[in-house]
A and B are shown apart, each in its own frame.
Chain A
């Protein structure tokens, strides 16, 4: 009995050594890690997109840590899951800033979640790096937006479609803010470019029944179905559209490589997608990135614009931390981000100092017979953001 007690005491005594031993492996003595908050939903309805954003950001930060960190200091990520609930996103952001004392937060996906976090980061003079493409029309000095906005995506896409495919557009989206704003803008671009809108439909968020919409598409006979459907609705729409065999082509602002796997080649081939990054972008950095991604993540996700948004957010943050004199100072990191240029698999991109949005390439892809997206248009240089 006594012996057992002794052994137990020894174990307990050794525990702190083990723990500190662990800590030492991560950060050399005296070198506190730099704390960064990751605010993504890995549960709930938006987890489809956010898993990809998360994978991208995590990969970027892991790579920075593996190559020596920030002047010898490691980046420590504090992860918070807000379960696709904007109210919870604000609470978690507050907790990350006040309790965990993070230098910056990377995260949120939907506009409603970002808008819920916005007053929090503004109140505490913190920093949010927002990785997703969105409808623009926002500016906060405490948020850096690294996804594409309409003037870098929709404007070019609509004009390209007008020139290369047809004039008659049918606009469709889920019934929330992003599709409404995008379609309003699309109507302006179409009016300016000589195109016409033969129909505009919204379905309830998450709806997967498109029977009446498909009927309207058939009667209005468009050349292009211009879509901002997301999530389950997006997948179901392509499939049902494929079953009806209509002649119009789908042009989407939201479909990506991961979603295409669920839609299947038969229903998606020939359709167009416009975003800032595709898996098949040809450059050496991207070749390496695609290989690393496939080796790191075996969760069914593919390198997509969502993954790249998260990855770019991590890259920008890493560079800014290196540039700042004191990487624990949010203000210095924020200042370092302004005008910052990085080499990313999506090309050489930068943050516009005047509006905190990223200057990005615009790319249009078409789904081929093998189900892969081939890049058929790429802007010559990055497009300056006009939010």
Chain B
């Protein structure tokens, strides 16, 4: 029982990191219909920003979080203006272009910082012990932070003027433009928001994972799996999707091993796509 509870809590921590990573992708994919294969590298930019701010510049980790958001958002905005915008409506070309960008970003980072991993200290040390269950304090912070960021993103898109504009452009671009919304600008902001959230995920993961030029791959895969399971239409779907991926990997890994677990999780996801091609939380199409 203790062991099960520990697995559940560990899974919750993994889910929180996956949720953070997937949030940006769901925004970009769900609202803009762009599949961004450089998403993992935006997460990497966030992680390297955390490294630069804490280790090279000597500031605290709390400054690294907004800095990572800003750096990745800026990178995303540049990407959108220079490349993605010019390929609107051509998904295959967009995927190829963003894949190319991902390789460029990896190698530029490799040249600038070297291939070796970089160090980011854990900002909150210590652990809590409940009976035989141990939870590092940083895990609790991760879970809380991910929940707060998700809530803030939902509020931003549902309750603010910016959010209304984004949704208007998503639903009917031509009509929104007729009503005086600068849809190009909205696209840039949406892409930057998604990218910034990816950067935030990178900074959050940096203290407990590795920070290296090639770190993006697994995050991209997890984000994809989450988007596939939960669909890209709602944040409830994203949250459930990340819980599904995180918890099932942790629990299956607990009873078998991590290699088998990753195979089983992928099989389960294939089953989901078979019966719910648009994810568990797809909106009804009219």
Binding site for B on A (CB under 8 A): 42-45, 47-48, 50-51, 175, 201-204, 206-209, 211-216, 218-219, 231-236, 239-240, 242-245, 258-259, 261-264, 266, 299-301
Contact = CB atoms under 8 A, between A and B. Distances in A.
Contacts of B217: 206
Nearest to A50: B115
Given A47-B110, A51-B115, A213-B253, A264 B121 contact: yes
Given A245-B127, A245-B134, A262-B211, A214 B10 contact: yes
A51 to B, nearest CB: 5
Interface stretch (B79-87, B90-98, B254-262): B254-262
A214 B262 CA distance: 17
Interface of chain A, main secondary structure: helix
A216 B210 contact: no
Contacts of B261: 212
Nearest to A242: B122
Given A201-B258, A219-B3, A243 B218 contact: no
Nearest to A302: B116
Contacts of B48: none
A249 to B, nearest CB: 17
Contacts of A231: 117, 210, 212
B209 A232 contact: yes
Contacts of B226: none
Interface in B198-253: 207-212, 214-215, 217-218, 249-251, 253
A255 to B, nearest CB: 11
Contacts of A301: 114, 116
A240 B119 contact: no
B89 interface: no
Contacts of A203: 258-259
B102 interface: no
Contact of B218 (A175, A208, A245, A258): A208
Given A215-B3, A264-B119, A236 B208 contact: yes
B115 A208 contact: no
Nearest to B11: A211
A300 B118 CA distance: 9
Given A201-B258, A262-B211, A48 B115 contact: yes
Given A202-B258, A206-B218, A301-B114, A211 B134 contact: no
Contact of A236 (B122, B125, B209): B209
B150 interface: no
B139 interface: yes
B1 to A, nearest CB: 12
A266 B121 CA distance: 9
Given A204-B258, A236-B209, A244-B136, A218 B6 contact: yes
Given A208-B210, A211-B10, A245-B127, A51 B114 contact: yes
A113 B110 CA distance: 21
A45 B14 contact: no
Contacts of A48: 115-117, 212
15 contacts: A42-B110, A50-B115, A207-B262, A209-B249, A211-B11, A212-B250, A212-B254, A214-B10, A232-B210, A239-B122, A261-B116, A263-B119, A299-B114, A300-B113, A301-B116
B6 to A, nearest CB: 5
Nearest to A262: B117
B183 interface: no
A299 B262 CA distance: 35
B64 interface: no
Nearest to B207: A239
Contact of B257 (A42, A45, A202): A202
Interface in B101-159: 107, 110, 113-119, 121-122, 125, 127, 134, 136, 138-139
A258 B116 contact: yes
